[in-house]
Amino acid sequence: MTLKERYAEILAWFRVNRPIAETELHYSNPFELLIAVILSAQCTDKRVNLITPPLFHDFPTPEAMAATTPEVIYEYIRSVSYPNNKAKHLVGMAQKLVELFHGEVPESLEELVQLPGVGRKTANVIQSVVWGKAAMAVDTHVFRVSHRLGLVSSRCTTPYSVEMALMKHIPKEEVPIAHHWLILHGRYVCMARNPQCDKCGLQLACKYFGQTYKLQQEKRKREELNKVKSKGIKK
Ligand code: SF4
C-alpha cells in the first residue's frame, strides 16, 4: 500500500465512521477554551472539566483573571497536574491578553505563542477549534496513532515533524476534524499500552497491525515447521 492509498483509506474510514469529532473540553468562549487547553497539558480532559466551572464562573474575563494572583488560582486548580506552573501561566496569559490584545484571544500562531503557557500545540488547538484554521496540534495521541497507522515515517521523531508530515497529506479543510479523529482514536481505541486492534476498523490500513499480524503468521509457520522436523527426527 502506498502512502497516498493509506491516507485515502484511513481518512475515508473516519469520514464514514466518525462524522462528528470534537474536543471533549467544556467551554463556552475562546477565553475559556484557552484556559482549558492550558490546564489539559499532561492531564485528562475529564479532570479539567471537573474543575473549570467554578474557575470560569469567578474569572469570566481576561480582565478578572489578570487582576488576581497565581496563589488564588492555585486553589481552584490544585487537583490538575503542575498546578503551580499552570496557575502562574493562567494569570500571566490573562495579563498579556489584556496588555497586548484588548482582552481578545488572538488568531495567529505568532500572537498566540506570546502568551505564557501557550506553545505551538496549544496555539494550534486554538487556531483549529476556535478559528477553524488548518492547524494540526500534535499531542501524545496524535503522535502515537500517526506512527502506528503508518501516516508518518519513523524518522518523524518530534511533534513538529509529525505535524509537517500530516499537513502534507491531509486536505486543508479536513485538518481540524482530522486532529480530533486521531486524538479520539488514540484515547479510546489505539491506546498506548494496549491498542484494541480487534475492535479497530482500521486494521487493513494500519502499518502496525500489518507488521504484528505478519510476525504472528511467521512465528506460527516456524512453530509448525519445527513440529514437522522434530517428528521426522523421532521416526
Ligand atoms: S489496528 Fe491496532 S494499532 Fe492499528 S490503529 Fe487500530 S488499534 Fe491502533
168 among known catalytic residues: no
pLDDT tier at 235, thresholds 50, 70, 90: low
In a domain, 55, yes or no: yes
Domain span at residue 74 reads: 30-129
- Please, what sign has the CA dihedral across residues 138, 142, 147, 150? negative
The enclosing domain of 115 has a CATH number of: 1.10.340.30
Q: What is the pLDDT of residues 100-118, one digit of tens each?
A: 999 999 999 999 999 999 9
Pick from 111, 129, 147: which residue ends a domain? 129
Number of domains present in the structure of the chain: 2
Give the span between the Cα atoms of 56 and 52, in whole angstroms: 6
Where a domain ends, among 113, 129, 145? 129
Q: Provide the grid cell at 32.
A: 475559556
In the block, residue with C-alpha cell 486492534: 197
Q: Read off the pLDDT band of 156 (50, 70, 90).
A: very high
Other CB atoms within a 10 A radius of the CB of residue 166 amount to 21
* Residue 195 DSSP class: -
Chain segment 111-152, per-residue pLDDT in tens: 999 999 999 999 999 999 999 999 999 999 999 999 999 999
The active-site residue, picked from 86, 88, 96, 139, is: 139
> At which of 75, 100, 129 does a domain end?
129
Residue 221 pLDDT grade (very low, low, confident, very high; cuts 50, 70, 90) = confident
96 inside domain: yes
Residue 69 belongs to a domain: yes
The verdict on residue 190 lying in a domain is no
- Which protein residue has the closest C-alpha to ligand 1 atom 8? 190
Strands (E), 132-227: none
Residue 65 CA to residue 172 CA, distance in Å, equals: 35
Tell me whether residue 148 is in a domain.
no
Ligand 1 site residues, Cβ closer than 6 angstroms: 148-149, 189-190, 195-197, 200, 202-203, 206, 208-209
Q: Is 45 a catalytic residue?
A: no
In a domain, 51, yes or no: yes
Look up residue 126 and give its three cell numbers: 486554538
Dihedral angle over CA of 38, 42, 46, 52, nearest 10: -30
CA of 46 to the centre of ligand 1 (A): 24
Is 167 domain-assigned?
no
Which of 142, 128, 150, 147 lies closest to 185, judged by CA?
A: 142
Is 121 within the bounds of a domain? Answer: yes
Average pLDDT, integer, range 77-87: 97
All cell numbers assigned to 16:
464514514
Q: Tell me which of 4, 121, 214, 227 is the catalytic residue.
A: 121
Our mutation pick for probing the ligand 1 site, out of 17, 197, 213, counting the most ligand atoms within 8 A of Cβ, is 197
Residues 122 and 213 in one domain: no
Indicate the length of the chain as a whole number.
235
